[in-house]
Amino acid sequence: MSPLVTAVQAGADFSNDTWWIVLIKAVGIIVFLLLSVLFAIWFERKVVARMQIRPGPNVHGPFGLLQSLADAMKLLLKEDMTVRAADKVIYLVAPMISVFSSLLVFAVIPIGPEVSMFGVVTPLQLTDFPVAVLYILAAASVGVYGIVLGGWASGSTYPLLGSVRSTAQVISYELAMGMSLVSVFIMSGSMSTSEIVNAQAPLWWFIPLLPAFVLYLISMAGEVNRLPFDLPEAEGELVGGYMTEYSSMKFAWFFLAEYINMLNVSAVATTLFFGGWRAPWPISAINDGMFNTGYWPVLWFGVKLWFFMFLFVWARGTLLRFRYDQFMKFGWKILIPAALVWVVAVALVQGVRRFADVDLRTLLIVLGAIVVVGVVVSMFIPEKAPPTEPEGEPEEFDAFADGYPVPPLPGQTLPPSPRRARVTVEATVTASEPTAPSADEEDPRG
């Protein structure tokens, strides 16, 4: 049999956990996320600055490390304004929904194996259950309610347009993201995060499931509204998107939710495709896996997590924003069909392996290469231009029909102006009249 057998090992054992161990884990996750957001803001500014050949933050603290803390204090002490036309309750609740839903995801992310914590043997994970990945997708879906309600409750046009865009974006790219994860479920035989990590002990899933991994990378950028997919807050079109009418700490809550969601999708990519907390080869082979025990795996998990965070920053400093029609076309016409084809291919391969001894790695790599080539080729196929209809006579438009002047719509034309017609007639008559010769001109009759 191939070493990539889909027999799932036992998941994490939480039977020894007490209430205070659970409390320590929960508080640790919140502290980790808040500190990571402060570091992520500094990290993003520094990396983008280096890409643009400038220093970046370098005043507050060593290497500018306290710049994020200074920004947080500025938002905390800034004047908190409430829009008069806003729905007061929903206007306040919307950013809280976004933050609280983003804090839920890390509850099922395994950061390490079982360790001894104050004399209690417990896994470095708050909780786990058989459908943990579906729980992650559900929590991510609830977060968009905060964006939608925030844009609607602001009582302004631009935030509303940004929130509507965000709704369409989440629907489009969460479909592609969910289907890219189905192949992981098929290979691992489970939707439990700890069992998926255990199933990757022989080989990390991003190698045999490379097309699904690429689809997830693209979808996760669209899921968290990051460049080149930050259409809900495109400042060139919507001023600031759904956050336009927010200030002070209410704005900071939306800002915090965005960065926590970046950490969430990076942690999911680490868990489902990059072996979770497992050390990379050849470190994992040293001393019979010594670096896969104790608190060492927390280091490997952090390194992988920040690798994906670097990809977010790299994309922001490199790529341009899509147009909205390009963005939706890419999601519905390329990502979702490619994800469907890949899921069917993986399911067929697993079905074949039940009846024949076939090398799984070779099959998946060949299928992955075919899907990647198909996606790339489809991106360069030009669209057929829609048939042009013959233009008829433009419809005459009465601008004063409703009592006040309005401009004509496309296909309509204003009636000729009486004043312009009179001026044209007078000019024609004047031009047709003969002129008397001047005194300087010689009479041809002598």
Q: Report in angstroms the alpha-carbon separations of 60 from 57, 269, 425.
A: 7, 33, 75
Average pLDDT over residues 91-113: 90
Rounded to whole angstroms, the Cα distance separating 204 from 108 reads: 19
Query: Strand 120-124 vs strand 112-117: parallel, antiparallel, or unpaired?
Result: antiparallel
Q: What pLDDT is attached to residue 30?
A: 93
Q: What 3-state DSSP class applies to 191?
A: coil
Rounded to whole angstroms, the Cα distance separating 86 from 400 reads: 36
Take residue 424 and report the two structure tokens written for it: 């044209």
Take residue 70 and report the two structure tokens written for it: 């200074």
Q: What pLDDT is attached to residue 316?
A: 87
Q: Estimate to the nearest angstrom the gap between the alpha carbon of 373 and the chain centroid.
A: 24
Q: What pLDDT is attached to residue 322?
A: 82
Rounded to whole angstroms, the Cα distance separating 125 from 107 reads: 7
Say if residues 244 and 156 touch (Cβ distance below 8 Å).
yes
Q: Residue 7's pLDDT band (boundaries 50, 70, 90)?
A: very low
Say if residues 38 and 260 touch (Cβ distance below 8 Å).
no
Q: What pLDDT is attached to residue 86?
A: 80
Q: What pLDDT is attached to residue 1?
A: 37
**Tens digit of each residue's pLDDT (9 = 90 or more) over 136-164:** 999 888 888 888 888 888 888 888 888 88
30-46 burial by CB neighbour count: b if 16+ within 10 A, else e? eeebeebbbebbbbbbb
Average pLDDT over residues 27-33: 93
Q: Is the peptide bond before 410 cis (omega within 30 degrees of 0)?
A: no
**Predicted confidence (pLDDT) at residue 384 exceeds the cutoff of 70:** no
Q: Which residues contact 263 (CB under 8 A, 6 or more apart)?
A: 33, 36, 37, 40, 106, 305, 309
Q: Report in angstroms the alpha-carbon separations of 219 from 48, 111, 188.
A: 22, 23, 21
Comparing 382 with 321, the larger pLDDT belongs to: 321
Take residue 426 and report the two structure tokens written for it: 């007078």
Comparing 379 with 14, the larger pLDDT belongs to: 14
**Predicted confidence (pLDDT) at residue 436 exceeds the cutoff of 60:** no
Question: Highest-confidence range of 95-99, 418-422, 429-433, by mean pLDDT?
Answer: 95-99
Q: Residue 437's pLDDT band (boundaries 50, 70, 90)?
A: low
**Predicted confidence (pLDDT) at residue 307 exceeds the cutoff of 90:** yes
Q: Please, what is the end-to-end C-alpha distance for the chain in angstroms?
A: 122
Quickly list DSSP for 220-256: HHHHTT-TTS-GGG-HHHHTTGGGTT--HHHHHHHHH
Q: What 3-state DSSP class applies to 414?
A: coil
Average pLDDT over residues 163-167: 83
Q: Which residues contact 68 (CB under 8 A, 6 or more apart)?
A: 37, 38, 39, 41, 42
Q: Estimate to the nearest angstrom the gap between the alpha carbon of 158 and the chain centroid.
A: 20
Say if residues 276 and 270 touch (Cβ distance below 8 Å).
yes
> How confident is the prediction for the chain on average, in pLDDT?
81
Percent share of the chain, pLDDT over 90: 21
pTM: 0.77
**Tens digit of each residue's pLDDT (9 = 90 or more) over 308-319:** 999 999 988 888
**Predicted confidence (pLDDT) at residue 260 exceeds the cutoff of 80:** yes
Question: What DSSP state is assigned to residue 297?
Answer: H
Q: What pLDDT is attached to residue 424?
A: 65
**Tens digit of each residue's pLDDT (9 = 90 or more) over 280-304:** 887 777 766 677 888 888 999 999 9
Q: What pLDDT is attached to residue 396?
A: 64
Average pLDDT over residues 381-395: 62
Helix axes 360-379, 336-355, angle to 10 degrees: 160
Average pLDDT over residues 198-217: 88
Residue 165: which of 84, 249, 243 has the closest Cα? 243
Say if residues 320 and 228 touch (Cβ distance below 8 Å).
yes
Average pLDDT over residues 386-407: 64
139 burial class (0-12, 13-18, 19+ CB within 10 angstroms)? buried
Q: Which residues contact 300 (CB under 8 A, 6 or more apart)?
A: 277, 278, 279, 280, 283, 291
- At residue 386, what are phi and psi to the nearest 5 degrees? -65, 145
CA dihedral 97, 99, 105, 106 (to 10 degrees): -150
Least confident piece of the model among 78-92, 119-133, 250-264, 354-368? 354-368
Query: Strand 395-396 vs strand 412-413: parallel, antiparallel, or unpaired?
Result: parallel
Take residue 392 and report the two structure tokens written for it: 């008829």
Least confident piece of the model among 75-84, 104-113, 174-183? 75-84
Q: What pLDDT is attached to residue 264?
A: 93
Neighbours of 112 (CB within 10 A): 22
Comparing 135 with 5, the larger pLDDT belongs to: 135
Q: What pLDDT is attached to residue 354?
A: 73
Average pLDDT over residues 382-393: 61
Q: What pLDDT is attached to residue 364?
A: 65
Q: What pLDDT is attached to residue 117?
A: 85
**Predicted confidence (pLDDT) at residue 351 exceeds the cutoff of 90:** no
Take residue 406 and report the two structure tokens written for it: 């309005």
Q: What pLDDT is attached to residue 3?
A: 40
Q: What pLDDT is attached to residue 442?
A: 52
Say if residues 360 and 353 touch (Cβ distance below 8 Å).
yes
